[in-house]
Amino acid sequence: MLAHDSNPLPRDPAASSPAAPRGHRLGAAAWAARALYWTSTLIVAYEMIAGGLWDLLRIEYVRVVMEHLGYPLYVLLIIGVWKIPCGAVLLLPRFLRVKEWAYTGSLLNYAGAAASHFLVGDRAGKWVAPLVFAAFTVTSWSLRPPERRLATGAAPPPPRRASWVVTIGLFAALVVLSLVTLPAGPPPP
């Protein structure tokens, strides 16, 4: 490292390659982190979008769960309205501060679900599942790429038009998947 170099990290020789997107290439570990980030993000986004739609449609599955937990059914409207934009904003480029709130909201949703099932005496399978989704949320949050992090420095570069198209397509696909996978009847005992 040169004395005038203020960056304490070693330079990646592939980072200056002209074929690298946005000025850098990712190594195997970075690709694995990105893959894990997107996998966990898609799982959380799908669960939020599906849960929100199911709540708003008040399908029998969620009505039975809410009654079992002792919540009034109007709570489905309140949480359902917030889950859908939460799932959407996790997929969207930019909106970094709103994304932080979406992560917080999803984590609170899963923690509340786990606590509710635990406190009514449900078996572990009922309250561990929301904790698994909470783990996916924390994984997604912690592995966010730099352009999806709220930073105090310079603003990130504007997203490409293609990233908006892909995001909107992903959101639409998750909505369709949520509607196609609507559970019929009450949850299994």
Q: What is the pLDDT of residue 154?
A: 61
Strands (E), 18-106: none
Whether the CB-CB separation of 89 and 171 falls below 8 Å is answered with: no
Q: What is the pLDDT of residue 156?
A: 63
CA torsion angle 93 99 105 110 (round to 10): 50
Which residues, 6 or more positions from 72, have their beta carbon under 8 angstroms from its beta carbon?
A: 66
Distances (CA, A) of 181 to 59, 164, 176: 12, 25, 9
pTM of the model: 0.77
pLDDT truncated to tens, each residue of the chain (189 aa)?
444 444 444 444 444 444 445 545 778 888 999 999 999 999 999 999 999 999 999 999 999 999 999 999 999 999 999 999 999 999 998 888 999 999 999 999 999 999 999 999 999 999 999 999 999 999 999 999 888 888 766 666 677 777 778 888 888 888 899 888 888 888 877
Q: What is the pLDDT of residue 184?
A: 83
Q: What is the pLDDT of residue 161?
A: 77
Q: What is the pLDDT of residue 121?
A: 96
Site of tokens 């999803």: 106
